[in-house]
Amino acid sequence: MNLKIENLKAGLPDKKILQGITLEVPAGEIHALMGPNGSGKSTLANVLAGHPQYEVSSGNISMGDINLSELEAYERARAGLFLAFQYPVEVPGITVGKFLKRAVELRRGEEGRFNVSAYIKELRENMDFLGIDQKFINRYLNEGFSGGEKKRMEVLQMLMLKPDFAVLDETDSGLDIDALQVVAKGINTLRGEDFSALVITHYQRILDYVKPDRVHVMVEGRIVLSGGPEIVDELEAKGYDWVKDSL
Amino acid sequence: MSDKQAPVSGLADYKYGFSYPDQSVYKPGKGLSEEVVRAISAQKREPEWMLETRLRALRAFYRKPMPNWGAGIGDIDFDDIYYYAKPTESVVKNWEDLPEDILKTYDRLGLPEAEKKFLAGVGAQYDSEVVYHSIQEDLKSQGVLFLSPEQALEEHPDIVKKYFGTIIPFNDNKFAALNTAVWSGGSFIYVPPNIKVEIPLQAYFRINSENFGQFERTLIIVDENSFVHYIEGCTAPVYTTDSLHSAVVEIVAEKGARVRYSTIQNWSGDIYNLVTKRAVAKENATVEWVDGNIGSKRTMKYPAVWLMGEGAHGEVLSIAFGGKDQEQDTGGKIVHNASNTSSIITSKSISKDGGTATYRGLIKVAEGLHNVKSHVVCDALILDEKSISKTFPYMEVESDDVSVEHEARVSRISEDQLFYLTARGLSEEEASMMIVNGFLDPLVKQLPMEYAVELNRLIELEMEGSVG
């Protein structure tokens, strides 16, 4: 589904971060959002997902014909928005299997008539696909997971929840090449006319495996450059200073 | 991680707060006196030694000061309490034979249903007396006794006299003294040697009257190499005035025996719950206390195991939920009095809406012992800025060859955890509840299934702000 951000200004109570973001990802497309550290990429991810810590001072966010700005974080998730966290949170005492079952049930609106055996089958298939050991079903969510295991778990959740729009916040950071390919495989498998995504990254590396339809560059809370995939190579060659200098 | 307070709804309405009109067949006036004690004893047609014990305990109660530590209990007005109310003339063996209101009460609490499904015997106490009692025939024929203490005193006076007050003396503390003076109802269990009672026995304690004091007395004797699991449940109506529940539980686990005693205390928010529980474990015996404190206004309760023989093992699992206006001062005590003994205390507490949950525990190792091991783990979860968690782990170790470990952790629900779960579609309430259940999970896993379900349900009720 398409995502439309119009003149979004947001930040922490004492700090303006997003200085008016306008961005549209049409249905079926995958866009990359690049930018140096501190440019506001993660803030945008969190604001899209509805993090209560951030204040939106103006602007609008919509997904299809749903006005996301008016929804709480959990309503956005149920409506089909997914955020793959840069730093997935450890939740002791809750197993992956139990947690995901509940999340999938809520996402699909199937409370009370949820088919558990179909769910488990699908979960196992997706785990195999991503190379995650089945033992993780009974482990507590993210507790004691390595960095790579946490990121795979985010992608597993994305595959199970089948979002209409996904925001992947530096899902590639800190991954070795094998893990990176697994993450890319997860995104590519969802690719299709009903799915669109914003892949936030600091490096071009993941974009070798997930080909973006368009690339946006963010600096100091603003989108300063948008264009085709060729921008990636240019950034790689010249660095972010090239964009800053050309402002 | 952020410390910002978790948005959890207010405390649930109490589901068991209903009451029926007081139709006691005998009820002396308010207040405590020698006259009241004599009247209780006379009602029960007790042997002379029991009346003597009661009167001695009454004098000890008057003599002993109120505890100056623990939960705030200074407001108790001992003159404003009814110390005895006899609900029926006799104990019945069929639920249908109970007076209508009393039967309705137990139906609403689900006790007859639970009995059919997963209990081998049930005792149901209403105010001061046990009104219903049952035990499966096969247990009875094996010589297992499960009776009210009054019945036990009548039918097996020698056993009662041999053990009564030997584990918890009449003057042990102010509230044990009070219980010994005015005790009424409770349970008596005797399991002969080499018998494993596989299905739990349950007692249910219900207060119906207002301004009431319930003082049940429980004595459990498990003979050599036998096993029993005893479950205790308690609820009361919601009144605007306070009531008092002060029980004494004494357990003897003979050589090689194992006793598990599980409580889910879900008293209404106007009950002072001040209970003394102590077990003696002899050679190679095991005693486990599972102590869940969800309700009450104030609770002070520290189930104890005295390890008196080599190879004995003691465990306390303590779960406390301190909500609005509540103070749970709970924990456990283990006294190692023999070599080669081991113990574990695991405490999980949650405090919310300004409530207080305190762990208070004692590990004591006597002089001249070897190979003694003890492990204490206290975890506390604080759900908001107003709520309080305290830990008082006392240790008195007088031997050298001892390993005593203590771990304590305090955590808060973080905004990051909540956001992570809400970003997956869970409402904030459900997310908080999931974190709380997750916090309790390692402990709940150790409970029998029906019991774990019940505990989870109660915690959810406390968290949800909804009534079932």
Across A165-180, average pLDDT: 92
List residues in chain B touching A: CB distance below 8 A. Answer: 2, 414-417, 419-428, 430-431, 434-435, 437-442
pLDDT at A200 (0 to 100): 96
CA nearest B243: which of B283, B270, B221, B208? B270
Q: Determine the number of helices (DSSP H) and then strands (DSSP E) in chain A.
A: 8, 10
Instruction: Enter the tokens of residue B351.
Output: 């405090």
Report domain extents, chain B. 34-301, 419-468
CA nearest B413: which of B429, B392, B397, B393? B429
Percent of chain B with pLDDT over 70: 95
A222 in any annotated domain: yes
A199 in any annotated domain: yes
Burial class (CB in 10 A: 0-12, 13-18, 19+), B284: buried
First to last CA, chain A: 32
Quote the DSSP letter at residue A136: G
Q: Coil, strand or helix: which one is B390?
A: strand
pLDDT above 90: residue A64: yes
- Are residues A178 and A130 in contact, defined by beta-carbon separation less than 8 angstroms? no
pLDDT at B466 (0 to 100): 32
Is this prediction's ipTM beyond 0.85? yes
Taking the C-alpha atoms of residue A197 and residue A176, their distance in angstroms, rounded to an integer, is 22
Domain span at A49: 3-89+162-245
Residue with tokens 């498998």, as numbered in its chain: A189
Q: Which residues pair with B196 in a beta bridge?
A: B227
Read off the CATH number of the domain in which A192 is found. 3.40.50.300
A110 in any annotated domain: no
* Pairs of CB atoms within 8 A across A/B: 75
pLDDT above 50: residue B2: no
Q: What band does B16 get if pLDDT is binned at 50, 70 and 90?
A: confident
Across A129-150, average pLDDT: 95
Pairing relation of β-strands B243-245 and B271-281? parallel
Q: Which residues of A touch B2 (CB under 8 A)?
A: 53
List residues in chain A touching B: CB distance below 8 A. Answer: 49-53, 72-74, 76-78, 83, 85, 88-89, 91-94, 99, 102-103, 106-107, 140, 157, 161
Q: What band does B431 get if pLDDT is binned at 50, 70 and 90?
A: very high
Taking the C-alpha atoms of residue A234 and residue A222, their distance in angstroms, rounded to an integer, is 19
Q: What band does A197 get if pLDDT is binned at 50, 70 and 90?
A: very high
- Are residues B282 and B310 in contact, defined by beta-carbon separation less than 8 angstroms? no
Instruction: Enter the tokens of residue B423.
Output: 């970003």
Quote the DSSP letter at residue A90: P
Q: Under an 8 A CB cutoff, do B435 and A106 touch?
A: no
- The chain B residue lying nearest A161, using CA atoms, is B424
DSSP-based helix, strand, coil % in chain A, nearest 5: 40, 30, 30
Q: Coil, strand or helix: which one is B421?
A: helix
- Go through B415-426 and write b for each residue having 16 or more CB atoms within 10 A of its CB, e for each that does not: bbbbbbbbbbbb
Q: Under an 8 A CB cutoff, do B417 and A94 touch?
A: no
Q: What distance in Å separates residue B437's CA from the closest CA in chain A?
A: 7
Residue with tokens 């892949």, as numbered in its chain: A199
**Overall domain count for chain A:** 1
pLDDT at A61 (0 to 100): 97
Q: What distance in Å separates residue A105's CA from the closest CA in chain B?
A: 9
Q: Which helix (H) or strand (E) holds A121?
A: helix A116-130
Q: Which helix (H) or strand (E) holds A66?
A: strand A66-67
Say which of B415, B419, B425 has its CB closest to residue A78: B425
A126 in any annotated domain: no
- A188-197, B88-97, B233-242: least confidently modelled range: B233-242
A124 in any annotated domain: no
A109 in any annotated domain: no
Which residue out of A72, A74, A101, A139 would a mutagenesis test of the B interface target, given it has the greatest number of B Cβ atoms within 10 Å?
A74
Q: Which residues of A touch B416 (CB under 8 A)?
A: 89
Taking the C-alpha atoms of residue A183 and residue A167, their distance in angstroms, rounded to an integer, is 13
Q: Under an 8 A CB cutoff, do A107 and B425 touch?
A: yes
**pLDDT top residue among B129 and B240:** B129
Across B145-164, average pLDDT: 96
pLDDT in tens, B255-282: 999 999 999 888 999 999 999 999 999 9
pLDDT in tens, B405-414: 999 999 888 8
Instruction: Enter the tokens of residue B177.
Output: 């003294």
> Cβ contacts of residue B449 below 8 Å, gap of 6+?
none
Q: Which residues pair with B171 in a beta bridge?
A: none
Percent of chain B with pLDDT over 90: 77
Which residue out of A89, A90, A108 would a mutagenesis test of the B interface target, given it has the greatest number of B Cβ atoms within 10 Å?
A89
CB-CB neighbours of A246 under 10 Å: 9
What Å distances lie between residue B167 and A143, A229, B164, CA to CA? 44, 81, 8
pLDDT at A247 (0 to 100): 63
pLDDT in tens, B291-349: 999 999 999 999 999 999 999 999 999 999 999 999 999 999 999 999 999 999 999 99
> Cβ contacts of residue B306 below 8 Å, gap of 6+?
B167, B278, B279, B280, B281, B335, B337
CA nearest B263: which of B245, B289, B237? B289
pLDDT above 90: residue A23: yes
Across B104-124, average pLDDT: 89
CB-CB neighbours of B77 under 10 Å: 12
pLDDT at A235 (0 to 100): 85
Across B410-430, average pLDDT: 92
Q: Backbone phi, then psi, for A80, in 5-degree steps?
A: 120, 15
Q: Which residues of B touch A165 (CB under 8 A)?
A: none
Q: Which residues pair with B277 in a beta bridge?
A: B249
Q: Backbone phi, then psi, for B398, in 5-degree steps?
A: -115, 5
Q: Which residues pair with B133 in a beta bridge?
A: B123
Spatial strand order of the sheet with A3-12 comes to A15-25, A3-12, A55-63, A66-67
- Are residues B311 and B282 in contact, defined by beta-carbon separation less than 8 angstroms? no
Q: Which residues of A touch B437 (CB under 8 A)?
A: 93-94
pLDDT at B459 (0 to 100): 76
**pLDDT top residue among A26 and B464:** A26
A141 in any annotated domain: no
Across A199-207, average pLDDT: 90
Q: Which residues pair with B291 in a beta bridge?
A: B263, B318
Q: Under an 8 A CB cutoff, do B423 and A74 touch?
A: yes
pLDDT at B80 (0 to 100): 95
**pLDDT top residue among A34 and B110:** A34
- Are residues B329 and B338 in contact, defined by beta-carbon separation less than 8 angstroms? no
pTM to 2 decimal places: 0.81
**pLDDT top residue among B339 and A117:** B339
pLDDT in tens, B193-213: 999 998 899 999 999 999 999
Across A232-238, average pLDDT: 86
Q: Which residues of B touch A106 (CB under 8 A)?
A: 424-426
**Secondary structure (H, E, C), A174-215:** CCCHHHHHHHHHHHHHHCECCEEEEEEECCCHHHHCCCCCEE
